[in-house]
Amino acid sequence: MSRVVARTRAILLVGAAYYLGARLGLSLSLVSHNVTPLWPPTGIAVAAFVVFGRSSWPGVAIAALAINLPINAGPFAAAVTAAGNTLAPLLAATLLQRVGFRRQLDRQRDAMAIVFLAALASMLVSAAVGTTALVLSGVVPSGDLFSAAAVWWTGDAMGVLAVAPFLLSLALFRDGPAWPATRWLEGAAILVVTATVVSLGSFTRLPLLFLTLPVLGWAAWRLQLRGAAPAALLASVVATWAAAHERGPFAGHSLVENMAILQAFNACVALTSFFLAALVSERMRAARALQVAAIELEERVAQRTSELTDANTRLVSEIRGRTDAQLQLSQEEARTQRKHQIAETLQRSLLPERIPEIPRLTIATRYVPATTDVQVGGDWYDVVQLPGGHVGLAIGDVAGHGLQAAATMAQVRMAVRAYALQNPAPVSVMTGVHRLVAHLGLPEMVTAIYLLYDPATQRLRYTNAGHPPALLVSDHDAYFLGGALSVPLGVTGDPGFTEAETVLPLGATLLLYTDGLVERRRTSLRAGLERLRVSALAESPDDVEVLCDRVLATLLDSDEVADDIALLALRPLALAGELMTLRLPAEARVLVDVRQAMRRWLQAEGVPSGAEDEILVACGEACANVVQHAYPAAAGDLEVSARRTEGVIEVTVRDHGQWRPEADRGGGWGLKLMSSLMESVQVERTAYGTVVRMRHTAGSRRAR
């Protein structure tokens, strides 16, 4: 019942306001006493539909009919005109709603919408309907149709431009921040100046109406819509009165010309006041938001700095043995809040920063985190280049998720790498890692598989500590490496690691993975392994990257991943007669990788040992020059390529940096050394980098 009463009250209020505004507008009639250049009811109707909703249209329709009955030739013409007067504001309100209009008029798009959609476009409906009704009823001669329509459209549009923003601004005095006394005085001064300037321009023949625009700009800049709307209404009313009485700049012109001048002036008034007010409001709102964001950012930086400091202290304490359990309990709440941030930091140390580019081998890796757990898991993989051209492969898993799993896996992965460099034999590496895990007394179960591959002999040796078996895929078969299996790391005192051996032929693929790839609820592990075998064997592609993507797409049933997945694929290739390419960061640590890669390629090409040493020394010197001189200010890449053509080894070392002049660098012995070892050395320096091209006739040494 209260809703019905409120709606009835709104309809009556809108109807009364519409009627009073219509009586005021008719006092400025220019055509047949019922076509006026200022029709306030349209602005009242648009504002009412925006504030109360379009359900208040009966008030507009009834009031429009009441005002049109006395001034039209009959009830039919009055009804048609009233319908046009109702439809035009309804169309304006609908268009404003469609574009997301805000009645605060605090955005540029709102100002543009009320000018072009609500005023200029929508009011064509009422002008067309009303003047057509007047012509058909004989009130207006058909020859005056265009003039009457122009005045009608001008009046309706002016009602929207002048009255609607003013009515909408009234709510801002209630809802917006209160003005101090000085702001009220400034607002009154703006109105006085506006009235003075617009009167001077409207009642003299001097073309001074344009002086109104700076005053309206002042109002919009200082007071936004609450100052711009009253000033714009005042300016429009005065100018409309002058146009209706042919005063000042409106004297001596035809009706159509006066309406054109008036509409142009009113449009400029609306655009200047409302558009500038909206622009200032947007800038002020953006400034406030920026200030709040700056404060929030400062607080967040301080908070994150404090969190990282606490996290670092806690991590060091845990690595040293977690000697103070009582202190950990007191910090439990803070650790729970920061646990995910710390685990994310540790995640960067779990996986290799890059996979080395190894001639005769193509390697692809994937890591898919679980989507059902916000914490980081313990799945990992690693590829280690070892002395003698051997390659160490490892993959493992720590049960559980979170900080403890991440910290455990960081230690295990680093231990595997360290023990592999010390003694790469699988049993030796796994025994060392087992002793470390047992010594640390970690509560989590750790599984891992370690493999040692010799590209020269294609020999693959491995041992498995409770991890899912590796899968070897050839052209027509795929089988799991089930040998050398023992219990997970750290479970027993002496796990008795053993070693198994197989051959990884050229073109075959070795797949290492963690249990998240094959384990599913309510499905046996055997079924998951069989799905993996069938997926890897079916039309095995030439590119291991494509193979990894297809395996993941086949075995992952949906976007939900219950457990982390690590996947590593390795495939040996025949490089003899092929182009060898390497692209590595220009850092000193990669020089060993370049040397090992070049040595394996030269051996595959059958280059004699003497020529091999000469080429390796020259290539190493060229690469060292890139690392030392090519990128003095920023990081960059080092590119090495080698090919054998008709017994000639061609080596190219390329960078994309800018070298300092030789006089500034000093030295110069590197180029002489390369020239003494190689048949020819060419250095090409361009704006895009430096290219060193070296040639050596394999099997013969240049006479010196």
In a domain, 600, yes or no: yes
Higher pLDDT, 670 or 623: 623
Residue among 367, 449, 448 nearest 408 (CA): 448
Apex 402 CA angle, 398 and 404, nearest 5: 65
Q: Is residue 626 part of a domain?
A: yes
Which pLDDT belongs to residue 200? 78
| pLDDT score of 704 more than 60 | no
Alpha-carbon distance 541 to 549, whole Å?
11
Q: What is the pLDDT of residue 145?
A: 74
Is a pLDDT exceeding 80 seen at residue 106? no
* 28 pLDDT tier (thresholds 50, 70, 90): low
Helix (H) or strand (E) segment spanning residue 670: helix 669-677
The answer as to whether 610 is a domain residue is yes
Task: Verify that 240 and 349 share a domain, yes or no.
Answer: no
**Residue 110 bridge partners (DSSP):** none
| Phi, psi values for residue 634, rounded to 5° | -150, 165
Checking if the pLDDT of 325 tops 70, the result is no
For residues 87 and 46, the answer to whether their CB atoms sit within 8 Å is no
With respect to residue 457, please indicate whether it lies within any of the assigned structural domains.
yes
The Cα 615–Cα 653 span in angstroms is: 12
Note whether residue 295 is domain-resident. Answer: no
What percent of the chain has pLDDT above 70? 87
More confident residue, 265 or 431: 431
Residues 164 and 265 in one domain: yes
Arithmetic mean of pLDDT, 561-582? 80
Q: Does residue 703 surpass a pLDDT of 50?
A: no
Residue 35 has what pLDDT? 53
Task: Give yes or no: residues 218 and 198 share one domain.
Answer: yes
Mean pLDDT of 621-627: 91
- On whether residue 499 sits in a domain, the answer given is yes
Q: Is 204 exposed, middle or buried (CB count within 10 Å of its CB: 0-12, 13-18, 19+)?
A: middle
Domain boundary among 538, 572, 606: 572
Chain segment 70-91, per-residue pLDDT in tens? 777 678 777 888 888 888 888 8
Tell me what pLDDT residue 425 has.
94
Specify the pLDDT at position 31: 46
- In the structure, what pLDDT confidence band is assigned to residue 644 with cuts at 50, 70 and 90? confident
* Whether the predicted pLDDT of 33 surpasses 60: no
Among 262-266, 434-438, 661-665, 697-701, name the one with the lowest average pLDDT: 661-665
Residue 610 sits in the same domain as residue 557: no
352 and 374 co-located in one domain: yes
- 543, 572, 601 — which closes off a domain? 572
665 with 573: CB under 8 angstroms? no
Convert the pLDDT of each residue in 460-479 to its tens digit.
999 999 999 999 998 788 99
pLDDT at 693: 94
Number of domains in the chain: 3
Q: What single-letter DSSP state applies at residue 31? A: B
Contacts for 531 with CB less than 8 Å, ≥ 6 apart = 518, 554, 555
Please indicate, yes or no, if residue 297 is contained in any of the structural domains: no
Residue 591's domain spans which residues? 580-697
pLDDT at 37 over 70: no
CATH number of 680's domain:
3.30.565.10
Domain end among 506, 538, 572 = 572
Are residues 511 and 609 both part of a single domain?
no
Residue 352 shares a structural domain with residue 496:
yes
Residue 315 lies in a domain: no
**Which tops the pLDDT comparison, 539 or 690?**
690
Q: Which of 200-204, 293-297, 336-340 has the lowest mean pLDDT?
A: 336-340
Maximum average pLDDT range among 200-204, 329-333, 349-353, 584-588 = 584-588
Q: Provide the pairing of β-strand 485-486 with 459-465.
A: parallel
The predicted structure's pLDDT at residue 416: 92
pLDDT at 500: 95
565, 622: one domain: no
164-190: average pLDDT: 80
Note whether 240 and 110 are same-domain residues.
yes
Question: Confidence band (pLDDT; 50, 70, 90) for 560?
Answer: low
Do 66 and 132 lie in a common domain? Answer: yes
Q: Are residues 192 and 238 in the same domain?
A: yes
Q: What is the mean pLDDT of the chain?
A: 80
Q: Is pLDDT above 80 for 151?
A: no
Per the model's pLDDT, the better-predicted residue between 669 and 699 turns out to be 669
Tell me, yes or no, whether 590 and 545 share the same domain. Answer: no
Mean pLDDT value across residues 675-698: 90
